Structures are given as structure tokens and as C-alpha cells.
A and B are shown apart, each in its own frame.
Chain A
Amino acid sequence: MTTTTLERKTNTEPAVRPRVDIWHATDAYVLEIEIPGVEEGGIDLKAQGSMLTLNAVQASTDEPPGRLVHCEYQPQNYSCSFNLPEDVDSDQIEAHLNNGLLTLKLCKKEKALPRKIDVRVQ
């Protein structure tokens, strides 16, 4: 029987845009980026001006890959960039990698946070 050959991707393949959830709370914006298979060392995260750029590269393994018999994803590199909102303090970006999920917390500038104003009674 004839089967279609499944070709393995090489590391030179163009990166794909990962799936992202973005939400904001009072004090910060949160980005949850799915980069399964990527290790901490493979992440290149840059904030330049109002641009936040992420490049994530799969770790190379010594084991030769097996022959693919069924393929739905294949390990791939990820790349994406975001325009930072004006109220983000680009020095205060926290990044955590946990089980293939990169969580970025972009803290808002103090000026942008809601302030409680005391009302004085005369």
C-alpha cells in the first residue's frame, strides 16, 4: 500500500505565531503564550521602544528523530510581537515559563494606576 511520506521539519522552517491569551487587570496586562517544547534557554524576549518581541526556539536533541507515521503538530519555533500600551512600564515586565506556557506580566506605570483621592471635609 502507498502512503504519503511525512517530512520532518527542519530548524530553518519559519516560526509560527503561538496561541495567546491577553487580558488586563487593574495593575497589569497579562499575556499567556503557548510555546510547548521550548526550554528556558530557547526564549529570546525583547522590549524595544513600544515593541515587545518574542522568539522561541526548540531545543535540539541528540537523539535522531524517528520516522513520523502520524503528524498533527511537529515541534516548531515560535515568533510574535506586540505593541505595548502606553501605560506599561517596560522596565517592569515579569516572565515565567511553566510547562510550555510563557506568562508575561506587564505592570502598569504607577501614574496609570487608579488613585484614591481623599476627600477632605471642611
Chain B
Amino acid sequence: MTFLTHLPWTKKPVRSETPDQHPVVSLHREINRMFDSFFNDFRDPSAEDFRSWSGFTPAIDVSETENRFEVSAELPGMTAEDISLKVHNGMLTLSGEHKREEEKEDKNYYRMERSYGSFQRAIPLPDNIDEDSVDAQFKNGVLTVSFNRIALPEYQARRIEVKSS
């Protein structure tokens, strides 16, 4: 099982990529796809959709190598003091507040695309990491939290005898 399955919001429709034999088949597929993406907008509050209806939600990437597990978040313009990180019960919680600079009276805005406000994101961690090995770095507006991966004991399948009475 991969880490992806732990994330409830990463529902990605898996489609077969076989060439369509008939125009009706492809039309049918296209309609299915439209329905998929329509409902995903409600059920899949990831990235852009999520950001559009909450004040500020940093975007995160999760990646893994053979012996590292890494979560990174984009937090441009913030400082390390604004960020709070917690690891508890297999969950990594990232929270903080992106404060707007003090309002000056003569600030006249032309464009306001950056988001501000409090945020919290909880990222479920896989079993095969060492929570004590956590290391967090904040550099150029990108927070990188990394863990060492550990090998889990392999479970042997056990044969169970079925008794009949």
C-alpha cells in the first residue's frame, strides 16, 4: 500500500488509456469524465479549489526516496517564527498565521493576489518512518520536513487450520 491511499482527498479517477474503438464509446467516456471532474470539484478539495474558499492554505508536496520521507510546503513571505509544526499519533500538523503587514493609510491596492490568514494542515504519516528523526528546514519560503524511513518487520502469512466439528 502506498502513502497515497492514506490521503482521503487525493481521489483521482483511474482511467484506462486504451484507444477508443468507436466514436460513441469515446463520447460516452468524455461524458463520464465531465461528470467525474464535476463531482470532484466538491469532493476533492485539493490545491486550487481548496484555496479558493479558505483564506490561506499552503500548497504541499509529499515525496519519498529509499530512506527519506519528505513533506514540503510553500510559505512565501513568512518567517520560521510564524510556523508551528507538530508530530503526534502518526499525524504531522502544520499551522501558523500569515500576517499582513501593518496597514498603512496611504496603501492603495491595484492587485491583491496573495493570501493571508491562519492555516492548519494535517498530513497523515506512513508507518515506516521514524517520528523522532524529524528535521524541518525553512529556506527561501519553502518549508521542508523530512523523516528517516525505517524497515518494518515483515509479517509472515500464517496458515490457519479450519476445524470441522
A residues bordering B, Cβ < 8 Å?
1-4, 19-26, 32, 34-39, 64-75, 98-101
Contacts and interface: CB of A to CB of B under 8 A. Distances in A.
A79 B28 CA distance: 39
Interface residues of B, number: 41
Contacts of A66: 63-65, 68, 70
Interface stretch (B73-81, B87-95, B157-165): B73-81
B108 A37 contact: no
Nearest to A27: B106
Nearest to A102: B76
Interface in B102-141: 104, 106-115, 138, 140-141
Interface stretch (B5-13, B19-27, B33-41): B5-13
- Say whether chain A's binding surface is mostly helix, strand, loop, or mixed: loop
Nearest to A34: B76
A27 to B, nearest CB: 9
A91 B141 CA distance: 28
Contacts of B74: 36-37, 73, 100
